[in-house]
Structure 1
Amino acid sequence: MNQLVNKSVLITGASSGIGAVYADRFAKRGYDLVLVARDRTRMEALAERLRRETGVAVDILQADLTDAGELAQVEERLRTDTHISILINNAGASITGSFVDQSPDEVAKIINLNITALTRLTSAVVPRFAKTGDGVIINISSVVALVPEFGLTIYGATKAFVLFLTQGLHFELGSKGVYVQAVLPASTRTEIWERSGWDMNALPPTMEVDELVDAALVGFDRRETVTIPSLPDAEQWNTFDAARQIMLPNFNQVDAAARYHLVS
């Protein structure tokens, strides 16, 4: 995508990891930035470096997106700041243990961040994008959305929501000039692991975050709806999606399939 003059990118979870690298890459493309995260100190250090190295303008919004009041402030910025042409929904979290071991409060917190906040921010900006006929939404999902066998039930379910939301918005907004991309990282070396209680040393080899974001931006420039940086053969995804579409005519039958008829 070519830079739009005086346009900016709002990035959640921007203080470290994937969000910080996205900030670096879009600043180098000439976009101004709005950084959103809880850690103001790290955002200020990142902002100072990017201003110095690229000359772009960088604003900081310190916010905990699980706090309704602070989330509302970011929503308002997205609704009213017409310079923001790209929203990157990157903020997210996971928790250790199986579903049976996780408390309702822990589960609710993950859902609030990974689903509710992401959806509300998207909802805040979409009407403006649709009206102007441009704009981009990048949603960070995960390959876990496709792999219930991994056992990360709540995290995977939230990321499956993000994937579905992205695909649905693609069909709703693509004809209106709005581009929506889901990025599905595999295991990536970010702080989400330690914050979630995982031991990085006990994990299998992980992708470096710079490589992940650079690959995701190739998909962005190609206007992919679903980008899976670790997938070597794009035809595997195409085959998977085609198999789903083959079933579509059968989802709207008025009678139950014969295989469900009781044998008398």
Structure 2
Amino acid sequence: MPPTPRALITGASAGIGRSYAEQLAKTGHSLVLVARRADRLNALADELRRGHGVEVEVLPADLSTAEGVGVVAARIGGEPPIDLLVNNAGYASRGRVAELNADALEEMLRVNIIALSRLSVAAMKRMVELGRGRIINVASGTVFMQLPGNAGYGASKNYVMGFTRTMQAEAQGTGVQVQLLIPGVIATEFHEVAGNNLSNFPPERVMQAGDLVAASLRALEMNEPVCIPSLPDIKDWDAYVAAERALTPQVSRDRVAPRYQRGS
């Protein structure tokens, strides 16, 4: 009988992370729940143990600190092995660049970029050694937008997209599956933390967290490397990638373009 799959979820105490925990528990996964708020984690763990009879580890950690990231990275490299890592933890510290609180920006980048990177490194190392495993990195629909006041958060999620797509290229032939998840507006407390309100969005633009997570897990089954849950046709993503490829040979040549030459 194969061992029970084990998933580690960051940002598991609320919103998207909590929904991953609930849906994976329903399918019999053992869980490692990571977040700052131990009280919420323990309450969720008790609920999932009672409701689904699954094994749940609680791992409180502040991913804005090196110590917190180190604790989680060590668990990823430990036993029993982690079969699925969901790098979901992240938040938005917004403001126009000239008005940003630089310390708040740096703390956000430690969570959105440094923590995700270090946990991805730990997971890839262990999973490649085992020849199996899955990683989901959560980006944001803002990767396609340049919204005033969103430079720091949007750029952090562009990093997630670029980092994850290169991970996918490196994962080829290793037995490790890497998904880039690009949510739109999701009905969670994320927006209140970021100083926004869901009522500012038209209802037809707001997805429930459970639907997002169900789409992500279905995309894993389908082996789709990029999951944009509300995108009707994956060919639109393919066109985006094709446009990138068309630019690639143009960015490195032995001379500047004619429009930059004097007298042209």
TM-score (normalizing by structure 2): 0.93
* 1:45-56 superposed matches below 5 A: 45-56=43-54
Superposed CA deviations along residues 141-187 of structure 1, whole A, max 9, x for unmatched, are 00101111465111110000001111000001122111111110001
Amino acid across the alignment from 2:74: E
Structure 1 residue 118 and structure 2 residue 124: aligned?
Answer: no
Structure 1 residue 174 and structure 2 residue 179: aligned?
Answer: no
Which moved further from structure 2: 126-135 or 159-168? 126-135
User: How far apart are the structure 2 equivalents of 1:221 and 1:256?
Assistant: 46
Secondary structure, aligned partner of 1:139: strand
Whether the aligned pair in 1 keeps the contact of 2:10 and 2:33 (CA below 8 Å) is yes
Q: Give 1:204 shift.
A: 3.2
User: How far apart are the structure 2 equivalents of 1:148 and 1:218?
Assistant: 30
Which moved further from structure 2: 155-164 or 88-97? 88-97
Structure 1 residue 65 and structure 2 residue 63: aligned?
Answer: yes
Matched residue, 2:229: 229
* 1:123-134 superposed matches below 5 A: 123-134=121-132
Matched residue, 1:34: 32
User: How far apart are the structure 2 equivalents of 1:67 and 1:243?
Assistant: 38
Aligned length: 262
Whether the aligned pair in 1 keeps the contact of 2:96 and 2:148 (CA below 8 Å) is no
- Percent pairwise identity: 38
Secondary structure, aligned partner of 1:69: helix
Residues 39 and 4 (structure 1 numbering): CA distance in 2 closer, same or farther, change over 3 Å?
farther
Unpaired stretches in structure 1, ≥5 consecutive residues:
none
Residues 150 and 144 (structure 1 numbering): CA distance in 2 closer, same or farther, change over 3 Å?
farther
Matched residue, 1:212: 212
Q: Give 1:131 shift.
A: 1.5
Whether the aligned pair in 2 keeps the contact of 1:6 and 1:83 (CA below 8 Å) is no
Residues 4 and 244 (structure 1 numbering): CA distance in 2 closer, same or farther, change over 3 Å?
farther
Matched residue, 2:240: 240
User: How far apart are the structure 1 equivalents of 2:148 and 2:130?
Assistant: 41
Superposed CA deviations along residues 167-225 of structure 1, whole A, max 9, x for unmatched, are 00000112211111111000111111111222333333321111111112221211111
User: How far apart are the structure 2 equivalents of 1:218 and 1:177?
Assistant: 18
User: How far apart are the structure 2 equivalents of 1:57 and 1:174?
Assistant: 31
TM-score (normalizing by structure 1): 0.93
Name which of 199, 202, 206 aligns with 1:201: 199
Secondary structure, aligned partner of 1:175: coil
Unpaired stretches in structure 2, ≥5 consecutive residues:
none
Q: Give 1:86 shift.
A: 0.9
